[in-house]
Amino acid sequence: MESLGGAVSKGETTRQSILDQALDLSSEVGLEGLTLGVLAQRVGMSKSGLYAHFASKELLQRDVLDAAAARFVDVVLVPALKQPRGCRASRCSSPAGCAGAPRSSPGLPFVAAAADFDDRPGLVRDSLISHLKDMLGAVSRAARIAVEEGHFRADLDTDQFAYEVWGQLVAYQHYRRLLGDPETQARAQRAFRGLIEASRT
């Protein structure tokens, strides 16, 4: 048994490192492109040894998605909520904030997964929808606060605002990954600024 604290079993630590690697890998090839063989190779263990940590590939994918959501909350949402209340909405919903550094953007596996699983029913899709609704709710709530504090228009449809924010995130990822256009970052920021401007009082 573990000593009721930081100590964790060996299995749990490797399981966590598997999940970490899977998160990175799925940022490159997508959740759907995730393969037990190459993941095992990257982690440095045998396929079956890796597989023993998960009941099925679907469960593995779901866990990876949960890990991605957790990372997103930690990296994007929590820092945003530490901002002064008035700035929250724009901070936590900026594509530049979500997409962050070109490398290993926290929102990326999420967007990629959304594309892969939008028509593939199952555990992963359900989990994805659930997380997405949570995130949209968070953005909408932040916008509502901004409305109450007078930074945003009183008649702003905050759900619509969240919709458009997510849309810009998705569009930004598409553009950047497909075209590799360095101008994309500037375009995304301009578009986002336009959205904020249109929501202002």
Rounded to a whole number of angstroms, the minimum distance from the CB of residue 159 to a second copy is 8
Among 132, 134, 145, 153, binds a second copy (CB under 8 A): 132
Answer whether 76's CB lies under 8 Å from 131's CB.
no
Query: Restricting to residues 163-192, which ones interact with a second copy according to CB under 8 A?
Result: 163-164, 166-168, 170-172, 174-175, 177-179, 187, 190-191
Which 8-state DSSP code applies to residue 180? -
Binding site for DNA (CB under 7 A): 1-2, 9-12, 14, 34-38, 45-53, 56-58
**Structure token digits, residue 120:** 């593939």
| x/- map, 107-126, a second copy, by CB under 8 A | -----x-xxxxxx-----x-
Rounded to a whole number of angstroms, the minimum distance from the CB of residue 45 to DNA is 3
Picking from 138, 132, 130, 134, the residue whose alpha carbon sits closest to that of residue 92 is 138
Answer whether 67's CB lies under 8 Å from 19's CB.
yes
Q: Distance of CA 191 to CAs 95, 113, 154, 174, 196, Å?
A: 10, 24, 22, 15, 9
Cα separation of 198 and 201, whole Å? 8
Decide whether 12 or 28 has the Cβ nearer to a second copy.
Answer: 28
Query: Restricting to residues 5-44, which ones interact with a second copy according to CB under 8 A?
Result: 28-29
Cα separation of 156 and 151, whole Å? 11
| x/- map, 49-88, a second copy, by CB under 8 A | ----------------------------------------
Query: Which of a second copy, DNA, none binds 177 (CB below 5-8 Å, type-dependent)?
Result: a second copy
Residues whose CB is less than 8 angstroms from the CB of residue 85 and which lie 6 or more positions away in sequence, other chains included: 145, 146, 149
- Interface positions with a second copy (CB under 8 A): 28-29, 112, 114-119, 125, 128-129, 132, 157, 159-160, 163-164, 166-168, 170-172, 174-175, 177-179, 187, 190-191, 194, 198
